[in-house]
């Protein structure tokens, strides 16, 4: 398949605004229907040779029969994207899929149509060569990942009904990341071996309210504000989980000289390493601790009314080793105000840890070495959430890696504006998937 043709296919799919929303009634189904039609038009061999099962409204599960069904492999991605905010200042239209100076701009290029289309490109290319994989391959494409929907759990149910127990699962997650750690020049091919649990908590204060001309001390909004500042002033304690320790052990030859002794004695010097990670910036600091951040606020509906109820929504990302109950109890303790009600809206524990001393992980490493020879492959704790967390129910080897080179600016564009991928970087990612499928055995 020619590079230009592959890019054109990705462009056509990026231009379809498959935006999912938390309220299913607010999600426009037409783009998802258009996406399915365009995907079949773009990859006819995949649709002709793989058995397709519809999952939920717009999800897809494809079965590619291999020479053996004993150790099946699942490759994952998702169709949906987050909305484009009116206040976002895109340099190029979010759904324009414009190519400027060798870079393809658009919502979904990195999260996650790049992965989805890259997988399909690799499969189509191999089918053109009459290739049959050594083991069964399943492609699971979710339609509501961005809103923590039910397509992925239903895909797991469908595999369970068929008696499928995957050898390993690979979803989006890490990347070939530049500027991932101060002083390290080489890009890091970070492969998520676990992901933080997500819990949403609501703080609520009820009161009488009243006219703004007669305020009372410590009313509902003031009490909520105090609770927020107490949380902000008391972050969760930092620690260094085992994937982070292994990451630094792998990085040791590439670290600045002053840090190498620290890595050699990492078990004894964990507190010092944790402090360094916290000081290095928010991306590395999030690798060391559970985080809690206020994302929503509500109070009075009018400027001249004191709120009778004030609320704050807190998004909590729970580090491996912590629990939902322990985190919620700590939030209550830090706020230290019985008038502030703490309610768990939804919760997920951290995902189980997938092995790195294992043939499945080594297979991913091997493909990284071949396609990205300058990168250092390493496990890490993924801070975001993926559909992969549901697959831990049926598979002990669940990994998270998007095979694309990403600068820090590109990583910051996820769920923001100016999301983009280099044309050559995308084609490298296609080669990664192709090589992975060729070497599965």
Q: In the structure encoding, which two tokens stand for residue 429, read together?
A: 């990612």
Q: What's the average model confidence in pLDDT over 313-327?
A: 96
165 pLDDT above the threshold of 70 = yes
Q: Provide φ and ψ at 162, rounded to 5°.
A: -90, 0
* Catalytic site includes residue 428: no
* Catalytic site includes residue 387: no
The residue annotated as part of the active site, out of 145, 387, 419, 425, is 145
Which of 117-121, 151-155, 279-283 is predicted with the least confidence, judged by mean pLDDT?
279-283
38 pLDDT above the threshold of 60 = yes
Work out the burial of residue 184: count CB atoms within 10 Å of its CB; fewer than 13 is exposed, 13-18 middle, 19 or more buried.
middle
For residue 3, what pLDDT is reported?
54
**CA distances for 119 relative to 33, 195, 402, 407, 411, angstroms:** 20, 22, 11, 22, 21
Q: Are 205 and 112 in contact (CB under 8 A)?
A: no
For residue 258, what pLDDT is reported?
78
Q: Which residues contact 35 (CB under 8 A, 6 or more apart)?
A: 13, 16, 18, 58, 79
**pTM of the model as a whole:** 0.91
If one looks up domain 197-236+290-347 in CATH, what number appears? 3.30.70.360
Give dist(CA 323, CA 378) in Å, integer. Answer: 25
Q: In the structure encoding, which two tokens stand for residue 104, read together?
A: 């393809």
Average pLDDT taken over every residue of the chain: 93
98 pLDDT above the threshold of 80 = yes
Same fold, 3-195+351-439 and 197-236+290-347: no
**CA distances for 201 relative to 225, 230, 311, 314, angstroms:** 15, 15, 10, 5
Q: What's the average model confidence in pLDDT over 211-226?
A: 91
Name the range with the highest mean pLDDT among 253-262, 361-370, 378-387: 361-370
For residue 249, what pLDDT is reported?
85
Through-space distance between the first and last CA atoms of the chain, rounded to whole angstroms: 25
244 pLDDT above the threshold of 60 = yes
Listed in sequence order, the DSSP H helices in 336-417 are 359-371, 388-391, 408-412
For residue 134, what pLDDT is reported?
96
Q: What's the average model confidence in pLDDT over 178-207?
A: 92
**Is the omega angle on the peptide bond into residue 102 within 30 degrees of 0, that is, cis?**
no
Percent of the chain residues topping a pLDDT of 70: 98
Q: Are 76 and 387 in contact (CB under 8 A)?
A: yes
Q: Which residue has the higher pLDDT, 115 or 216?
A: 115
Chain centroid to CA 99: 25
**CA distances for 310 relative to 10, 30, 69, 189, 299, angstroms:** 45, 38, 55, 44, 4
**CA distances for 104 relative to 174, 285, 411, angstroms:** 20, 30, 15
Q: Provide φ and ψ at 272, rounded to 5°.
A: -65, -40
Q: Residue ranges per domain, the chain?
A: 3-195+351-439, 197-236+290-347
The residue annotated as part of the active site, out of 80, 111, 195, 425, is 80
pLDDT band at 286 (very low <50, low <70, confident <90, very high): confident
For residue 211, what pLDDT is reported?
84
pLDDT 10s digits, 339-354:
999 999 999 999 999 9
Q: Provide φ and ψ at 63, rounded to 5°.
A: -115, 115
**Domain 3-195+351-439 listed as CATH 3.40.630.10:** yes
């Amino acid at each position: 398949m020619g590079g230009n043709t592959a890019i054109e296919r990705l462009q056509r799919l990026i231009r379809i605004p498959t935006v999912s929303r938390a309220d299913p009634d607010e999600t426009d189904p037409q783009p998802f229907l258009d996406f399915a039609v365009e995907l079949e038009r773009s990859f006819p061999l995949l649709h002709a040779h793989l058995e397709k099962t519809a999952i939920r409204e717009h999800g897809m599960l494809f079965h590619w029969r291999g020479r053996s069904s004993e150790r099946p492999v699942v490759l994952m991605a998702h169709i949906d994207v987050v909305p484009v905010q009116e206040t976002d200042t895109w340099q190029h239209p979010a759904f324009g899929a414009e190519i400027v100076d060798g870079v393809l701009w658009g919502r979904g290029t990195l999260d996650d149509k790049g992965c989805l289309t890259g997988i399909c490109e690799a499969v189509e290319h191999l089918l053109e060569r009459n290739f049959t994989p050594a083991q069964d391959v399943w492609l699971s494409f979710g339609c509501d990942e961005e809103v923590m929907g039910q397509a992925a759990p239903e895909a797991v149910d469908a595999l369970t009904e068929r008696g499928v127990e995957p050898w390993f699962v690979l979803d989006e997650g890490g990347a070939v990341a530049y500027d991932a750690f101060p002083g390290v020049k080489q890009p890091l091919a970070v492969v998520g071996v676990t992901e933080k649990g997500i819990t949403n908590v609501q703080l609520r204060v009820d009161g009488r309210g009243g006219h703004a001309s007669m305020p009372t001390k410590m009313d509902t909004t003031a009490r909520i504000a105090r609770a927020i500042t107490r949380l902000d002033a008391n972050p969760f304690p930092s620690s260094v989980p085992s994937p982070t320790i292994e990451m630094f052990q792998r990085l040791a030859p590439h670290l600045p000289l002053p840090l190498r002794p620290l890595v050699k004695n990492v078990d004894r010097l964990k507190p010092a390493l944790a402090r360094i990670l916290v000081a290095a910036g928010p991306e590395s600091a999030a690798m060391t601790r559970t985080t809690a951040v206020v994302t929503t606020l509500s109070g009075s509906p009018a400027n001249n009314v004191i709120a009778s109820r004030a609320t704050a929504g807190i998004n909590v990302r729970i580090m491996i080793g912590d629990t939902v109950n322990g985190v919620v109890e700590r939030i209550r303790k830090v706020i230290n105000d019985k008038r502030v009600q703490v309610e768990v809206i939804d919760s997920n524990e951290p995902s189980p840890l997938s092995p790195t001393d294992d043939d499945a992980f080594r297979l991913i490493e091997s493909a990284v070495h071949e396609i990205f020879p300058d990168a250092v492959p390493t496990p890490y704790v993924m801070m975001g959430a993926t559909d992969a967390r549901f697959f831990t129910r049926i598979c002990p080897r669940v990994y998270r890696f998007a095979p694309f080179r990403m600068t820090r600016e590109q990583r910051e564009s996820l769920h923001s504006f100016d999301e983009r991928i280099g044309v050559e970087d995308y084609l490298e990612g296609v080669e990664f998937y192709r090589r992975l499928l060729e070497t599965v055995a």
